[in-house]
Amino acid sequence: MHLTYNMVGKSVRLSRILKSDGRAVVFAFDHGVEHGPSDFPPEHVDPRVIIGKVVEAGVDAIMMLPGIARITWDLWGNKTALIIKVTSKTNLRPRDERLLQSVFGYVEEAVALGADAVAATVYWGSQYEDRMLQQWFAVRNEAESYGLPCLQLAYPRGPAIPNRYDVEIVRYGARAAAESGADLIKTYYTGSLETFKQVVEAASGVPVLMSGGPRREKEVDFLRDVKNVLEAGGRGVVVGRNVFQHKNPTGMMKAVIGVVHEDLEPEEAVKKYLEK
């Protein structure tokens, strides 16, 4: 039996993100909306500067909002895969409403931009979970017809969730992401190899990528988290702040790639790419 056209499209596009070793390093760059431009060091407020650096480092894919893709296309086009995020929110909102991600673009726009995947956030446990699920299934349904894989940022957070990094909570979100048809899952690191293994198991074979999180003081600590994720069966990392807030983003991105694709130990990666 032959595969359907959209199954072929999805496989081809996924293979541009997850490399031949089944792993991926994705640069997350939606912070200008999610956190505001104060997240960026002054030299990286211009998206073209940092995008140029991570492309030069050899990142596998970049996840960004449609407007930034338009401004930077000549830098990443034909060089890295593109994941267009079609939901977002600002921190300018009242605190309670930050638990809702709104529509921030359309699948058709992602296709028009040449995307290899679309991404959308679901805050599992939020009082707005129902609205985000409606958005998620609308995105997923349309993406499916174009053969576009869907990355879910499966982020449990809400009034009933005291600790969003708790393994029970994170694995619940990962399982819910798998059950809602995600092709790739991006979620929080739970702090250890053993606990992250449970997250990967709950995702039942859907590839899980670690979400970078706030900048770690020592790069080796971040690289060790990435290594643990891989040893737990995770497929890589979607990293933003730990790269663009680093004084040497190109070196830091290369070090992350070294751990993910070259199987370097964190200390070796630091020596090879950051201490030269």
If the CB atoms of residues 9 and 236 are measured against ligand FBP, the closer one turns out to be 236
- Which residues, in sequence order, are bridge partners of residue 64? 29, 84
* Side-chain-facing half-sphere of 78: CA atoms under 13 Å: 1
**Interface residues for ligand FBP in 10-29 (CB under 6 A)?**
28
Measured distance CA(255)–CA(25) in Å, rounded: 11
From the DSSP assignment, how many helices (H) and strands (E) are in the chain?
A: 12, 10
Number of residues that bind ligand FBP (CB under 6 A): 13
If the CB atoms of residues 25 and 147 are measured against ligand FBP, the closer one turns out to be 25
Give yes or no for residue 31 binding ligand FBP (CB under 6 A): yes
Give yes or no for residue 116 binding ligand FBP (CB under 6 A): no
- Which residue's C-beta sits nearest to ligand FBP? 212
Give yes or no for residue 34 binding ligand FBP (CB under 6 A): yes
Q: What is the DSSP letter of 39?
A: G
Contact string 82-111 vs ligand FBP (x = CB under 6 A): ------------------------------
Q: How far is the CB of 27 from ligand FBP (least distance, A)?
A: 9
* Distance, first Cα to last Cα, the chain: 53
| 186: annotated active-site residue | yes
- Is residue 104 helix, strand or coil? coil
Q: How far is the CB of 256 from ligand FBP (least distance, A)?
A: 11
The secondary element (H helix, E strand) that includes residue 129 is helix 129-146
Measured distance CA(37)–CA(106) in Å, rounded: 23
Q: How far is the CB of 211 from ligand FBP (least distance, A)?
A: 5
Token code pair at residue 66: 């449609």
Contacts to ligand FBP by CB under 6 A = 28, 30-31, 34, 153, 211-213, 238-242
Query: Hey, which residues are catalytic here?
Result: 186
